[in-house]
Every structure is written in structure tokens, then in C-alpha cells.
Amino acid sequence: MSFYFPTSIATTVSGVDEALEFRLFQHFVNITDVPQLFSACNISLWIIQLACRHRSVMEALLGVSAFHLRSSFSSSSSAFPTSTIPESKSEREVIKASHHYMGLAIATHRKLIIEEGVTEKTADVILGSCLFITYHSTGSQKFLNQAHNSVLSCNSDIERHRELCRVPLHWFVPMKSLKDMINLAATYVQNEGMRTLLEWEEANFRVILQNETSPDPDNEYPTTFNFLLDDLPLDAPDYKTYVLCTKYLNLLSGGEVTKFILKFPALVPPRFVELLREKDMRMMGIVGYFLMLLRRADHEKHLWWMAGAVENDWEGMKYAYESDEVWNRRMEWARREIEGGEFIDFVVGKALARR
């Protein structure tokens, strides 16, 4: 893609800030200018054009671009980054820019929703900003105060490991809000290509999910990840929740529907989030294989905003897996794919998880 930084958008930034904005804008264009599926490319094109017309979306774009640059520094690339002020002037600059521009974008986004709501006039801007804000908020979770991995690795107590691990709640709380916003805004989005894309994805997704409620006894449901239910008593308090979430994972795991794995966070029931927040080991296991499937989808679709996300979230939980003998074996398939970079046949993977 080829774009020029817009100079017609009303702004009061200084020459120095304008140079920074140009650099951040160019960085965003560069990271989205990669081979992608047609739909992904359409979204990138739509949102960049939107940013060139609306300052609030541009501020969100600049905030996300700065955040993406921040993650390229070594001090920010681990799953448990330190909270000390970085020595690098360039890193301090992008951290400040990330917070500054996203803060402006969030304030404008909130004001627009409160004062005007989602209408034909505002839908594109609100949806565009919402996509950026969700990415920024989920990615920022790892920079909150968390235990460092050096602390975890020196403690052998199972409960201690579980207590100190970092579960990726950020995939499951903001994503539900984003799905609601997409469903609402899709009705009003003015860009015909985006509106068609949103309607097509929702329609196809519903066809897939109708299997979940179909009474047809001849339906053959995938059972790839049923090993996550091994040793689960039928009378377990949250039996239905575990089964439902595993079933969704099975349905979204293969063939043409792999790309829909990104919808998994919006499907899971509220109890899933509660159990994950409690660091329930079985639910963490389900999330581990969700991350593995995300990595497969990223490999297929080349999603710039996914860079490092799976590895960081896995790193946050892996010590809890390793401290539990049963789950350490059960997560071997996911471990080999996420840590080792392999892509393992499902039959072989199931055998690894059950050995």
C-alpha cells in the first residue's frame, strides 16, 4: 500500500511532534503492507483511509503504532517485562507517544458514543477506534505489575506457581465488548466493502455454530481436544462449562473454519472467565490450546497485530503447567507448537497430549 501522511487534518502539533506522527504513521503502513488474505487487507486499507479523514481515528492509529514499536525493544519483549524506566531515549519516546495518542483517542471515542451514539454518521469512526483501542488495551496487560519469570522458576510449589502465573484474561473480557460493538456498528457502517465483509463473516459463522445446537444425531462433531476433559467427573460442578468450551474449540479447530478461532473469546460463557480468573488448571489448559490455534491462524493469515502475542501469553502460564505432572504432559502438543515452532498433525498431537 502507498499512503502519504495527511496534512489537511486539523491539528496543533509542533514540528517535532509532526515528525514523530509521520514516523508512526509510516510504521503502521509498513507493518500492514504484508501478504494477507483479501479480507484482512481490506480492513487495513479501510482503517488507514478512515484515519486520514478523522483525527480521532488517526490518534488511535498513532497510539497503536507506537505501542507496536515499543514491543520491538528487548526490555518490552518478554512475557514479564520490567517496570523500570528504560534507558533508551527512543523507547521512552514511543512509550510516551503510545499513552498520549491512545489517551486522546479514548477520550474522543467515549465523548462521541455518549453524545451521538452509534449512527450512520458515526459508525465507521466508532468501529475503527474500537478496533485500535481493543488491541492497545489487550496488549498492554503484560506491562501491568506481574511476577517476573525468574521468581516463578525458583519456586516448586504447585499452588505458588499457579498463583504467580499470568492468565490472558485480556483475550476474553474486551473481545466480548468488541463483538457487541461490531454487531451494532455493522448495521450502520457506510463503507460498503466493510459492511459486506462483516455481514458475510457473521452469516458464515452462524452456519458453523448451528452444529452446536443441532439435534441431528448423525452429526459428527470433531473431538480433537476432548483430551482436555480426561479425568473430569460427570458430576463436577462446572462440567457443562468445560464441555461447552472444549466443544467450541473442537468446532473452530480445523479446515476452512480455523480463521474463526478469533471468535472463540466472544463465545465462551461468563463462568469461563470466572474460572480463568481463579486460575483453574483445566480452563488454563483450554486457553493453552486456544493459543496454539491462534498461532496457526496467524501463520496462515500473517496478522501484524498478533506478533509475539501467543508466545507472551503462553510464557505467562507455562510455569503453572510445568509444576503439575498431569497438565505438563497434557500440554506437550501446544508446547511443541508454540515454543518449538512445529505444526503437528492432529492425530499425532492428540497422542502426545495423552501419552
Question: Does residue 111 form part of some domain?
Answer: yes
Mean pLDDT of 196-217: 69
8 Å CB contact between 251 and 208: yes
Q: What is the pTM of this model?
A: 0.78
Domain assignment of residue 85, yes or no? no
Q: Which residue has the higher pLDDT, 349 or 156?
A: 349
| Amino acid of residue 333 | W
Q: Is residue 177 part of a domain?
A: no
- Does one domain contain both 134 and 232? no
Segment 5-27 mean pLDDT: 70
Co-location of 230 and 349 in the same domain? yes
Which residues lie below 8 Å from residue 136, measured CB to CB, with a gap of 6+? 60, 63, 64, 67, 98, 102
Say if 184 falls within a structural domain. no
Q: Could you write out the DSSP letters of every residue in 3-41? A: ----S-S-----HHHHHHHHHHHHHHHHHH-S---HHHH
CA distances to 127, 129, 291 from 120, in Å: 12, 15, 36
pLDDT band at 7 (very low <50, low <70, confident <90, very high): very low
pLDDT band of 38, cuts 50, 70, 90 = very low
pLDDT at 73: 72
List CB contacts of 338: < 8 A, sequence separation 6 or more.
291, 292, 295, 310, 311, 314
Judge contact between 40 and 303, C-beta under 8 A.
yes
Q: State pLDDT tens for residues 275-325.
A: 999 999 999 999 999 999 999 988 887 777 777 789 989 998 998 999 999
Q: List, in sequence order, the alpha helices (H) in 71-190.
A: 89-115, 123-139, 149-153, 158-164, 174-185
Single residue among 128, 144, 160 that ends a domain in this structure: 144
Question: Would you state the cell numbers that stand for residue 12, as one nine-digit string?
Answer: 496543533
- Quickly count: other Cβ atoms within 10 Å of residue 11's Cβ: 14
Is residue 27 located within the same domain as residue 131? Answer: yes
User: pLDDT tens digits for 228-280?
Assistant: 999 999 999 999 999 999 999 998 886 555 667 888 888 899 999 999 999 99
130 and 243 inside one domain: no
Number of neighbours of residue 150 by Cβ within 10 angstroms: 8
The percent of residues above 70 in pLDDT, for the chain, comes to 77
- Both 224 and 133 in one domain: the answer is no
pLDDT band, residue 72 (cuts 50/70/90): confident
Q: Is residue 154 part of a domain?
A: no
CB atoms within 10 A of CB 26: 14
114 & 30 share domain: yes
pLDDT band at 153 (very low <50, low <70, confident <90, very high): very low
Give the pLDDT band of residue 147 (cuts 50, 70, 90): very low
22 close to 16: Cβ distance less than 8 angstroms = no
| 101 within a domain of the structure (yes/no) | yes
Query: Cα dihedral sign for 298, 304, 305, 311?
Result: positive
Residue 164 has pLDDT above 80, yes or no: no
Average pLDDT in the chain: 81
Q: Count CB-CB contacts under 10 A for residue 102.
A: 26
Which residue pairs, CB below 8 angstroms and at least 24 apart, start in 335-344? 337/292, 337/295, 337/296, 338/291, 338/292, 338/295, 338/310, 338/311, 338/314, 339/311, 339/314, 343/296, 343/299
Q: Is residue 122 part of a domain?
A: yes
Residue 123 structural domain? 16-75+91-144
Total domains in the fold of the chain: 2
Does residue 141 carry a pLDDT above 70? no
* 126 and 227, same domain (yes or no): no
| 53 belongs to a structural domain | yes
291, 166 contact by CB (below 8 A): no
Q: Would the pLDDT of 156 be above 80? A: no
- Verify that 125 and 233 share a domain, yes or no: no
Task: Select from 108, 129, 144 the last residue of a domain.
Answer: 144
DSSP state of 140: G
User: What number is the average pLDDT over the span 49-65?
Assistant: 94
